Amino acid sequence: MVRSMGKNPQLVKRAMALWLMLEEINYHELIRMIHSKDDNTIDIFFNQALECLEFIQPNATPPTSQQDETQVFLGLIDEPMNFRFFYYHREFMYKRHVHILETVCDKIFGENGAIEVDESGLKPVARPLEDGSSTSSHSSSDHQALPKLSNLNPGADEFHPGQTPEDTRTMFLTFSKGYPLSREEIVHFFTSNWGEVVQDVVIDSSHHPGQDPQFGRIVFTSSLVIPRVLNGQSKAKFMVNRKHLWARIYVPRHRGRRG
């Protein structure tokens, strides 16, 4: 993005940290899918990422009703996601974004170069960022040098992001637009299926008058409940009173030395 599209390296690092954070919420293969798109589409996703970042800042203002209507990362994510998703989860997301930016992106993408991995996955290769430069074409080897971000810089320090006890028992909830679920419906659904496992359910109350909430969080009494809910999948999708409910868990990635 920096070398072939002329993007500011610092902004690219911020966007990459946001996408890595979303991968921690089990939006799997997000960066690889973005990389597979053409430059115009990548540019759209990049600009959307920067807009999303505005809504997780400590002093962020709520998105407007028009912004609530704008779905972001279309074609990458198969469930509703708009700017309110980021605003609603802003406290969690801001901390995670800063952590990933400092412990991953600032090490992989330094001020003067980026560390990539060659095709064998064994030897790091330094490439200049060339701030502000732009090229009209690039070789197939350039494409091949960026396949998997999880393989970058195998010599970096071990990455062990912390989780609070509540993080390990929390799932992110999303509802279909126009078909919200109440706290009572959610508690009844999980209790009916898995017993007395619900500690708390919080539904987004920051939406505009006349608009239905689309997001929430559920906290279980034990982290052992979540594998039962997921049933071997990376996310859970349910029908609750004939309305869709998506549930995802935050899973910190461990990036660092490879054996």
| DSSP labels, 139-163 | -HHHHHTSS-GGGS-TTSPP-----
> Could you identify the residue written with the tokens 């940290």?
17
Residue 59 resides in a domain: yes
Residue 152 resides in a domain: no
pLDDT at 211 (0 to 100): 78
pLDDT at 184 (0 to 100): 96
CATH number at residue 229: 3.30.70.330
pLDDT at 79 (0 to 100): 86
Q: What are phi and psi of 185, to 5 degrees?
A: -60, -40
pLDDT at 104 (0 to 100): 87
pLDDT at 49 (0 to 100): 96
Residue 158 resides in a domain: no
List of the chain residues with pLDDT < 70: 110-164, 207-208, 253-259
This prediction's pTM: 0.72
- 170/242 same-domain check: yes
Domain with 14 in it: 9-109
- H helices within the chain, ranges in order? 2-5, 9-24, 30-35, 39-54, 65-68, 83-88, 90-100, 106-108, 140-144, 183-194, 225-230
Residues 50-91 have pLDDT tens digits of 999 999 999 999 998 888 888 899 989 888 899 999 999 999
Q: Answer with the one of 60, 77, 109 that is the final residue of a domain.
A: 109
- 27/102 same-domain check: yes
- 17/96 same-domain check: yes
pLDDT at 166 (0 to 100): 80
Residue 182 resides in a domain: yes
pLDDT at 167 (0 to 100): 79
Residue 42 resides in a domain: yes
Residue 95 resides in a domain: yes
CA–CA dist 106, 193 (Å, integer)? 44
pLDDT at 197 (0 to 100): 96
Number of folded domains that form the chain: 2
Residue 120 resides in a domain: no
pLDDT at 154 (0 to 100): 39
| DSSP conformational letter for 102 | I
- 98/174 same-domain check: no
- 174/245 same-domain check: yes
